[in-house]
Chains A and B, each alone.
Chain A
Amino acid sequence: AQSVTQLGSHVSVSEGALVLLRCNYSSSVPPYLFWYVQYPNQGLQLLLKYTSAATLVKGINGFEAEFKKSETSFHLTKPSAHMSDAAEYFCAVSDNNNDMRFGAGTRLTVKP
C-alpha cells in the first residue's frame, strides 16, 4: 500500500521568503509522485509530477520538487513566496496514476 505523509499542517512564510513544504512517501513499487494546489472552494490543480525521469521536477508558478529515494522524500520548494501562493497544498502518490493517495495537506500562509 502506498501513502504519503506531509509534515506540518500549516506553514507560514513572509512574502519573498523560501517556501518548503515537506512530503515523505511509502511505496512498494517505484512511485509516481505529485503536488497539487487547492484554492478555497475549488478543485485541485496539478503543480508538478515525478514519473521516474529527472529527480528534480519543475512545475508551474515557480515551484519545484526533488525526488530523493534514499530519504523517501519529495519536498516542494519555491525560492520566493508570493501572496498568491497562499493555498492548501497536497502531496500524492500513485503506482500508475490510478490509485492515488493524498497526504493530509499543508496550508501555506504568506505574510506581507
Chain B
Amino acid sequence: GAVVSQHPSWVICKSGTSVKIECRSLDFQATTMFWYRQFPKQSLMLMATSNEGSKATYEQGVEKDKFLINHASLTLSTLTVTSAHPEDSSFYICSAMVSNQPQHFGDGTRLSIL
C-alpha cells in the first residue's frame, strides 16, 4: 500500500518550454503533497507544500511563478516548470501523506533542459 506514482520519470526538452510533472497517490487519499528538488549528490530540498484545494506554500527562495503547483484532488498534484532553462535541470521528487503518517515518495522525475 501507500504507492506514489510520478510521471514522467525522465524528460528532456528545449530551453524556454514548460514541463508538467504529475504526482499521484494510487491507493490512498493524500491530505498533503510535497515537492522536492535534488541536485546531484545532494540532499532533498523542500520546494513547496500543497493541500488539496488550496494554494501551495512555497519555501523561501522558490519562485512561485516559475514552479506552478496545482493540487486539484486528493490523489493528484502537478508541478509545472514554466519557461524552463538549463539551471532548472534537476531531479524532482514528490511525496504524499495522510495526516500523522510518514510521507511516501514517488520515484522522481529527472528533468534535463537543453
Contact = CB atoms under 8 A, between A and B. Distances in A.
Contact of B105 (A44, A96, A107): A44
A103 B45 CA distance: 10
Nearest to B31: A98
14 contacts: A36-B105, A41-B9, A41-B91, A42-B107, A43-B93, A43-B106, A45-B105, A49-B102, A97-B101, A98-B32, A98-B49, A98-B97, A99-B46, A105-B43
Interface string A35-51: 01000011111100100
Given A44-B95, A46-B104, A104-B43, 4 more contacts: A34-B102, A90-B43, A97-B101, A97-B102
A22 B66 CA distance: 36
B53 to A, nearest CB: 17
A46 B4 CA distance: 13
Interface of A: 34, 36, 41-46, 49, 90, 96-105, 107
B83 to A, nearest CB: 26
B43 A102 contact: yes
Contact of B108 (A43, A46, A97, A100): A43
A72 to B, nearest CB: 19
A37 B104 CA distance: 12
A90 B110 CA distance: 19
A43 B43 contact: no
A36 B102 CA distance: 11
Nearest to A34: B102
Contacts of A36: 105
